[in-house]
Amino acid sequence: MYKLSDIKNNYLFKIFSLNSIHVFLKLLFGFFTSKAIALYVGPSGMGLLGNFRSFLGLIENIALLGFQNGIVKYISEHKDHPIEYRKIVFTSGIIVLFSTLLLSLFLIFAVDFLTHSILKDQDFYQYIFYLMALLLPFYIGSVYIISIVNGLHHYKSVILVQLISGVLTLGISLWLIIFFNTIGALLSLLIGQVVLCFILIFYSTKNHLFKGVFSFQNFDVKLIKNFSEYAFMALISGVIGSFILLQIRNEIINQEGLFVSGVYEGLQRISSYYLLFISTIISLYFLPKLAQQNSIKEEKEIVRTYLYYIIPIFGLGLIALFFIRDFVIQILFSPEFKSMEHLFFWQLLGDFLKAISLLFGYILIAKKQTKIFIITEISSLLILYFSTHFLLQKNTIIGVVQAYSLTYFIYLIVLIFYFRKLLFSSSDKMQ
């Protein structure tokens, strides 16, 4: 039987507690920004925000080339070997910087096309893309540095830095939204990561994370091959996935209009807040663990910890949210978002299935099981797109969240079948 002191001294418990505080504060920050957007921008403006947010995700995934997971893995393995550490940081950094600068040029030259396709012919928003091109290196830099800090297992520092950034971003975002409405809301999506980047640069300098790194002698061509496997997986999950999500949002706008798209985006904002709890606990604790261990026994222990401790708490939270959904909509948004209520069940079900499947997806990434990763990702993306297209026409907007749940149900079944030996076998020998 566990003693209270044993639980308190457990490292996962400490990370879990810190992460819970982090997520709670993010929810609090999200409350203020969502309320401001609802009051000063409205559902139609929020629909544009959803499109722009999806586009940002697409650009982020292309710029990073999927290297963030590789950075966590290789730094976790070589954090005690200075020469290898410097090679990993510099080589990945140079490649990410190059891809980011290319994308910045693309944003400048494709501004007319992007304005019409992403922001629906709103020509007076053109300068948003010029500003995005200017800020993109800082935006991508924040994700890159966070990956390094995660690989070094500086969990507390990651959470603290993100909290400080969150407070500063909240103040700036509220000012932008209140005084500049939709334009300000679009700008706020860029500002958060930029603020985080400057705080991370300060942290990195203070802790000498880049000491001896900036030398072309640290560029290692051999590492490119190692990172390329992550890049290939990111092309499937990140780039193609983001593109399909953007297409789905465009279909919602074309069929249901910006107002309904904005209501859907409001639900996605709520979803992103509580999924942050799962994604950060995996990236802070489970992914570095998966990157280090090699035995089936250790893998089983990691999976059991996630399924027996994290998922039940998450599930109870979703059940509670379902029963107070009316209150949440009233608090977070405005009466215009009332129709969101009937979308909750399918969204929460899909998010629960997604939370379970996330760890298995990270195992595929950590173990570089590229073939099965690509097969499952492409299959799930195709199911998501075509089921959304069919159910949107058949059931209107509720069909989108039904398709989301269906996709993750099928995806989880496939992953359980693939990992059946890890989940159900009593043997601890490597297969």
pTM for this model (two decimals): 0.79
Total domain count for the chain?
1
CA 55 remoteness from chain centre: 13
Cα separation of 363 and 291, whole Å?
Answer: 9
- Does 222 map to a domain? yes
- Does 48 map to a domain? yes
- 275-279 LR contacts (CB < 8 Å, sep 24+): 275/351, 275/354, 275/355, 276/23, 276/26, 277/19, 277/20, 277/23, 277/314, 277/317, 278/310, 278/314, 278/355, 278/358, 279/358
What are 350's two structure tokens? Answer: 């899909």
Mind listing the pLDDT tens digit for each residue in 346-397? 999 999 999 999 888 888 877 777 788 888 988 999 999 999 999 999 999 9
- Does 362 map to a domain? yes
pLDDT at 29 over 50: yes
- Does 430 map to a domain? no
Mind listing the pLDDT tens digit for each residue in 73-93? 788 888 888 888 899 889 999
Range of lowest pLDDT (283-292, 313-322, 326-335, 415-424): 283-292
pLDDT band at 182 (very low <50, low <70, confident <90, very high): confident
Segments forming the whole domain that contains residue 22: 4-424
SS (H, E, C) 244-313: HHHHHHHHHHHHHHHHHHHHHHHHHHHHHHHHHHHHHHHHHHHHHHHHHCCCHHHHHHHHHHHHHHHHHH
CA-CA distances (angstroms) from residue 211 to 82, 145, 218?
10, 14, 12
Mind listing the pLDDT tens digit for each residue in 96-132? 999 999 999 999 999 888 888 888 766 677 889 999 9
- Does 159 map to a domain? yes
- Does 431 map to a domain? no
Tell me the average pLDDT across 165-179. Answer: 91
The more confident residue out of 320 and 431 is 320
Closest CA to 352 of 269, 396, 411, 299: 411
- Provide the pLDDT for residue 24: 76
- Provide the pLDDT for residue 370: 77
- Does 429 map to a domain? no
Average pLDDT, the chain: 85
- Does 330 map to a domain? yes
